[in-house]
Amino acid sequence: MNPAHSFRHKKSLGQHFLRDPDIAERILDAIPAEAADAAVLEIGAGAGVLTRPLFRAFGRKLYVSEIDHRSVRLIATDPGVSADRILEGDFLKCNLQELPTPLYIAGNFPYNISSQIVFRMLEHREKIPALVGMFQREMAVRICASPGNRDYGVISVWTNLFYFGEILFELPPEAFDPPPKVHSAVIRLIKRAEVVPGADDAGVLKLVKMAFQQRRKKLSNALGAVDGARQALEGFGWQDLRPEALEPVQYVQLYQAIVRS
């Protein structure tokens, strides 16, 4: 019997349970080999289809964040699972500093908080070397999008500054119970060995968000309210470009030029 049928999903939690254990094995295989000597955090255990192979591979080095008490009870009864490593509660409120470093992230992520999971990872990037997880395909494409692409946006820029991202494979709705209305995709994010100096300044993210709030406008108009922005843009020759045209590193350069002006 598929454990996903043991209780009804909660739409409010964005639950779509993975049905096929073979898909779980593919996710496990995509986790970098270096994780064997580190801790791993699964976000959203659901019916435990991915949790079980993760516990088999990582044992007590695996932690599980799950908000649904029914899921917690289900996976805690599995003899292969360390019940004291299950963190019941909202991942977005979890104190990641209390978990070991380095900490790898994996999971079939709740679709309603998937972008928040990525931004939370970015906040703790010094601790997290890599992430492997399931997203709605649309979100996966946005995270991994390149400049010039219509899907390129704030989450693309900010992720790309610190991680190398790739879509590993896609899944149809019928791979889940209940089937979502959209296709899904597994992505892998691996932290860059070298980060552009100054990329971690909070002002860079603020500038990127401001630019993409008016993504159809030229940067000179989208950032017109920012003191020094027009002068900096003209200095680079970017005044007539739209937000999706700039590489992530160019946003860092633009911010630094504005600060100097």
Residue 223 covered by a domain: yes
Pair (218, 175) in one structural domain:
no
Question: Is 196 contained in some domain?
Answer: no
Let me know whether 10 and 43 are in one domain.
yes
Query: In this structure, are 109 and 231 located in the same domain?
Result: no
* Ordered per-residue pLDDT tens for the chain, 261 residues: 344 445 565 554 445 789 999 999 999 999 999 999 999 999 999 889 999 999 999 999 999 999 999 889 988 888 778 889 999 999 999 999 999 999 999 999 998 899 999 999 999 999 999 999 999 999 999 999 999 999 999 999 999 999 999 999 999 999 998 888 999 999 999 999 999 999 999 999 999 999 999 999 999 999 999 999 999 999 999 999 999 999 999 999 999 999 998
- Quote the pLDDT of residue 248: 98
SS3 166: strand
What is the reported pLDDT for 9?
57
Q: Do residues 15 and 122 both lie within one domain?
A: yes
Helix or strand (DSSP H, E) at 131: strand 130-136
Token pair 């939690």 is found at 13
Cβ(219)–Cβ(211) under 8 Å? Answer: yes
CA dist., res. 171 & res. 33, Å (int): 24
Which pLDDT score, from 0 to 100, does residue 1 have? 35
Question: Which of 168, 191, 214 corresponds to the end of one domain?
Answer: 191
Does 21 reside within a domain?
Answer: yes
98 vs 121: CA distance, rounded Å: 15
pLDDT reported for residue 160? 98
Q: Domain tally for the chain?
A: 2
Q: Which domain holds residue 248?
A: 202-260
H-helix or E-strand containing 136?
strand 130-136
Residues 183 and 212 reside in one and the same domain: no
> Could you give the CA distance from residue 171 to residue 177 in angstroms, rounded to a whole number?
13
Q: Are residue 100 and residue 40 in the same domain, yes or no? A: yes
CATH label of the domain that carries residue 234: 1.10.8.100
Q: Which of 5, 26, 41 is nearest to 169 (CA)?
A: 26
> 152 and 215 share a domain?
no
Final residue in a domain of this structure, among 191, 220, 239: 191
pLDDT of residue 6: 54
**Could you say which of 135, 158, 191 is where a domain stops?**
191
Judgement on whether residues 119 and 244 belong to the same structural domain of the protein: no
In a domain, 83, yes or no: yes
> HSE on the CB side for 61, CA within 13 Å?
18
In a domain, 197, yes or no: no
Q: How far apart are CA 215 and CA 148, in angstroms?
A: 12
pLDDT at position 26 is 98
Q: Which two tokens stand for residue 101?
A: 């470093």
In this prediction, residue 5 carries a pLDDT of 46
Q: How far apart are CA 32 and CA 194, in angstroms?
A: 18
Radius of gyration of the chain (CA): 20
Say yes or no: 165 and 233 in one domain: no
Q: Are residue 38 and residue 101 in the same domain, yes or no?
A: yes
- The DSSP output letter for 179 is P
For residues 256 and 152, state if they share a domain: no
Cβ-based neighbours of 34, under 8 Å, separated by 6 or more: 129
| CATH code (residue 16) | 3.40.50.150
The whole-model pTM stands at 0.92
Strands 176-177 vs 103-108: parallel, antiparallel or unpaired: unpaired
Q: Do 72 and 116 fall within a single domain?
A: yes
Kindly state whether residue 226 falls inside one of the protein's structural domains: yes
